[in-house]
Amino acid sequence: MTNAMDRLYGQVADKGHVCLGLDTDYTYLPEDFAQDFSSKGEAVLAFNKAIVDQTLDVAAVYKVQIAYYEAMGLEGLGAYSETLKYLRKKGALVIADVKRGDIAKTAEMYAQAHFAGDFEADIITVNPYMGMDTITPFFPYLEKGKGIFALVATSNPGAMDIEGITHGGKKVYEMVGEMLQKLGERFMGRCGYSAIGGVVGCTDPQATIGIRRALDKTFFLIPGYGAQGGTAQDMGRYLRDGNGGVVNSSRGVLLAYRKDAFRGMRFDGAARAECIRMRDDIHSALKGE
């Protein structure tokens, strides 16, 4: 069975490990660019399209965080929907970062909302910390080639308040990861990874020693690179033979045009340059250069 992670595995092999986060706050837009549009939603959508056009060949996948669009109300959700459609039209893989976590019929509705219709994505993020019955309602879509990234060990400062609690000799995140990998056995792809992936942050690599060995069939979405403190040198422990994970950067790319290194460049050109720098940084670290 070919699954979403097979496609993502192929994208990493071809383009590198960059997951470009389109967590687009209106304040991130250059003023002279934003003023040419009649609404914030239109401006954000145009900003996103310009960045996508410049980075398609250097980003393995795009992650669109829904909260930034919800905050703008109905016009924001319109920009969110059109961003997803534009990405899919361009042939890009899309992760909808929605972190849904509920049960029964509600979870079924979340699955329908984000795997079909106006908000369709290839992969979505989910929160399993209410229990594994938050995951099973997504199964019908996984059988059709969609994928999920479930929170395992996150990158926020308070992650280990709960995820790091030890019970019976294991941390909570270790037990959650093992349960997710067990669930994912029925959705194995040709690349050796399940359609059920895991979100594993790189901000505290000492806290997650051994996680790749334990979750050897789980593809990782790795947040925390750059602005949150994760480095390219941390990546090796989360990958397997140079693949099996994508590394997210949002503000680092969207705001690259404000960095001294890219000063004077248009925002989309700076985003491309930052993606290339990040891709090469990770590649060099994996090679031990």
Query: Which of these is catalytic: 49, 99, 170, 259?
Result: 99
Helix, strand, or coil (residue 23):
coil
99 is catalytic: yes
The separation between the first and the last C-alpha atoms of the chain, rounded to the nearest angstrom, is 37
**Where would I find the H helices in the chain?**
4-15, 31-34, 40-55, 66-70, 74-89, 104-115, 139-142, 172-183, 211-214, 251-254, 267-287
CA pair distance 49, 18, nearest whole angstrom = 17
Q: Please answer whether residues 77 and 70 qualify as being in contact, where contact means their C-beta atoms are separated by less than 8 angstroms.
A: yes
Q: Letter for the amino acid at 190?
A: R
Give backbone dihedrals phi and psi of 150, rounded to 5 degrees, phi first.
Answer: -100, 140
Q: Which residues are catalytic?
A: 99
